[in-house]
Amino acid sequence: MLKPSVYTDLANHDQKIEYICASNPFGDAIRRLERLEAVCAIEKVANRDKQLLDSKSAASVVLEISGNTSAKPSIDVSPIVRGNDLNCIESIQNRCKLSFNVFSHLEMIESRYFQNEGCVKAVLAALEQIEYLPEAAFNNLPVAPTIPKEQANRLIRNYYESCRFKGFTIPVEESFLISIPDLKNNPHVQLDYTSQIIYHAVLVQGILLDPECQPGIEISTELAELLCVAGWKRFKITQPISSRRFLWQTHLTNFQISVALEGCDCDLSWEMLGLACRIARTLGYFSVDTDQGEDRSLSPSVQNTIADDTETDKNQKRFVFWHLFRTDCFFRLAFRKPNLITKGCWKVNFPDLTINGIDDESFHLIQIHFLVSMRIALLSMKFLDWIDFQSTLDPASHDAVVEGYIEELHSILSNWHLEELLGRSRTRFDTYFCTDMLFSSYKLLIALNQSKKCNQDKHTLPPETVKISRKLLRLSQSLLGTSLPAFWGISLVLVHHFVPFFILCLAITGDINHDEIEDDLILVTWLSKYVENASKERIDFKSVSFVMSIMTVACQKQEVKRFTTLV
């Protein structure tokens, strides 16, 4: 359940633990609480997150992140995971993926989870199986893995044809990326890691935009992601941050945020966001609209560059900044991270959405997506700031404020006719934008409804929360259908689907008389099967798939129990 702090109220949490131990439905898991905290080194990661907020240079941040390679790996674990036996999983990698990709989402429905014995038992059963999963590692790939040149060229063209909008421009020519396979085979040429990372990141994006979606493309997706991440790890060790490479590194880190999410590595994605913010701030992206010389933190060379910026240059920087801002809000809402872009550290107007002053009708949906997604991000920020710093309000006043946020979000949905826009989408790119707007708004609606005081102490989920979750998964089912998972990407499931999935599971297992148990079970089973298919060639996703599969089995047992009761 969303709490009046950054999703967690440890005092209330401790009370829940005492209640659970007293009633003893989950005693086996709770008894190992202290061991779990020791293994996962929670406080160490919290301190590292705070370090990302200080005023150090980008170079020092990278050195801190990559410097201590011999230290014991640490995991930022959601407080809710302390009630589960993650300690039984020896693999640090699998434990980390579950903590970020699954359990962090349960904050919104915390109390219902602890009160639902069926859900807890299902998750514990999944953890027992996950213990024996192998780790995904770059070293396990075939020697010198490659993506066929013809396929790579098609994917690169997919990316450049879809990303003609000036706001998406990257400082790399299409012809250069197409030449990389030949350059890699030339013994006299050694490509720097920056070029290799951007090359493989563009391949990942091209796969997601591929209209052909050929069989076997899941393997290409994983291969491109692994090569991209492996290149980044080598880059961190061998390439210190320098002002000469800042422009490339800005786009490099932006690419890595999405690629890391697609590779189920939320920790790396968060690391990339912190670095992207550092670099963007150093380049003046946070002070595009300050008076000349007002931002004294900028180096003289950067100030001279800014002075020569055209209006198109400024609009491109504004566009990048606001997407960093939106990503920052996303990590706050989805993973309880502290905000990296704080009040008073930036002065950036919205860009002219033509970027270069030339209006192109084919880019109108991109412009709508920018405006809508930024409104949702600003509303998220306003809500989260209020949750973090609100004074004590009586329940009625608290709920009145939340209801105001809900009304504002509903007005965004209705004023922009988002569902109608989705129905009129003609390209894969347009469909991505429309689903992103809809899914983001639905997920925020769930968070808002769950934060109401009147909903926090009930034994059943609020009907509105269940209704929104059902609507989101129905929309997903109609869009994804039987398409290959790589066509849409795994990050779509991680970012948008886990909260509604768990809500429907809780609704099914928590109430034997649940009105729409059959329809909800169809949705839960469909998503679980979709994720299972996606994980066949993706070892890094199997731990997540296991949890979903066993949760689905628990729901199916509840339906059988209900049928038996009726008979």
Same domain? For 52 and 151 the reply is no
Q: Is 282 in the same domain as 430?
A: yes
The pLDDT score that the predictor gives to residue 26 is 38
Contact 253, 317 (CB under 8 A): no
Q: Is residue 96 part of a domain?
A: yes
Alpha-helix residue ranges (DSSP H) falling in 209-299: 217-238, 246-262, 266-282
Q: Looking at residue 296, what is its pLDDT? A: 72
For residue 551, give the nearest of 519, 523, 515 by alpha carbon.
Answer: 523
Asked whether 520 and 547 are in contact (CB, 8 A), the reply is no
320, 346 Cβ separation under 8 angstroms: no
Residues 234 and 197 in one domain: yes
Residues 489 and 438 in one domain: no
pTM of structure = 0.76
In a domain, 551, yes or no: yes
pLDDT at 406 (0 to 100): 96
In a domain, 548, yes or no: yes
| The pLDDT of residue 66 | 29
- Count CB-CB contacts under 10 A for residue 8: 17
On whether residue 452 sits in a domain, the answer given is no
**What is the predicted pLDDT for the residue at 405?**
96
Assess if residue 135 is contained within a domain.
no
- Cα–Cα distance for residue pair 160/162, rounded to 1 Å: 5
- The percent of the chain in helix, strand and coil, each rounded to the nearest 5, is 70, 0, 30
Beta carbons within 10 angstroms of residue 315's beta carbon: 23
Residue among 31, 4, 8, 3 at smallest CA distance from 78? 8
Picking from 389, 413, 442, the residue at the C-terminal end of a domain is 442
**How many CA atoms does the CB half-sphere of 339 hold within 13 Å?**
20
Q: Do 438 and 465 fall within a single domain?
A: no
The verdict on 95 and 161 lying in the same domain is no
In a domain, 518, yes or no: yes
Residues 6 or more apart from 382 whose CB is under 8 A from it? 405
d(CA 440, CA 437): 5
Question: 523: domain range?
Answer: 458-567
The Cα 1–Cα 456 span in angstroms is: 7
For CA atoms 505, 508, 514, 515, the dihedral sign is positive
Terminal Cα-to-Cα distance of the chain (whole angstroms): 35
Identify whether 4 is part of a domain: no
Whether residues 472 and 563 share a domain: the answer is yes
List per-residue pLDDT tens for the chain, 567 residues long. 333 333 333 333 344 333 333 333 333 433 333 333 333 333 343 344 444 434 333 333 222 222 333 333 333 333 333 334 445 445 555 556 566 566 665 665 554 555 667 667 776 776 666 666 655 443 444 444 567 888 889 889 988 988 888 887 777 889 999 999 899 888 898 887 777 778 877 887 887 777 665 555 554 555 565 556 665 565 554 455 444 455 555 666 666 777 777 777 777 788 888 888 888 888 889 999 988 767 777 878 777 778 888 999 899 999 999 999 999 999 988 888 889 999 889 999 999 999 988 898 889 999 999 999 999 999 999 999 998 877 678 889 999 999 999 999 999 999 999 999 998 888 878 888 999 999 999 999 998 998 888 877 676 788 899 999 999 999 999 888 755 554 566 777 778 888 899 889 888 887 767 778 889 999 999 999 988 887 776 666 777 788 888 889 888 888 877 767 665
Extract the tokens encoding 325: 């801002």
Same-domain check for residues 179 and 273? yes
Domain final residue pick, 411, 442, 473: 442
Q: How many domains does the chain fold into?
A: 3
Same domain as 280, residue 324:
yes
Asked if 78 and 99 count as a contact pair (C-beta separation under 8 A), the reply is yes
Residue 218's identity, in one-letter code, is E
Residue 2, in any domain of the structure? no
Same structural domain for residues 124 and 146?
Answer: no
Q: Are residues 432 and 464 in the same domain?
A: no
Q: Which two tokens stand for residue 483?
A: 């398409």
Instruction: Please check whether residues 62 and 197 belong to one and the same domain.
Output: no
DSSP letter for each residue of 48-106: HHHHTTS---HHHHHHHHHH-TTSPP-----GGGGGS-GGG---HHHHHHHHHHTGGGG
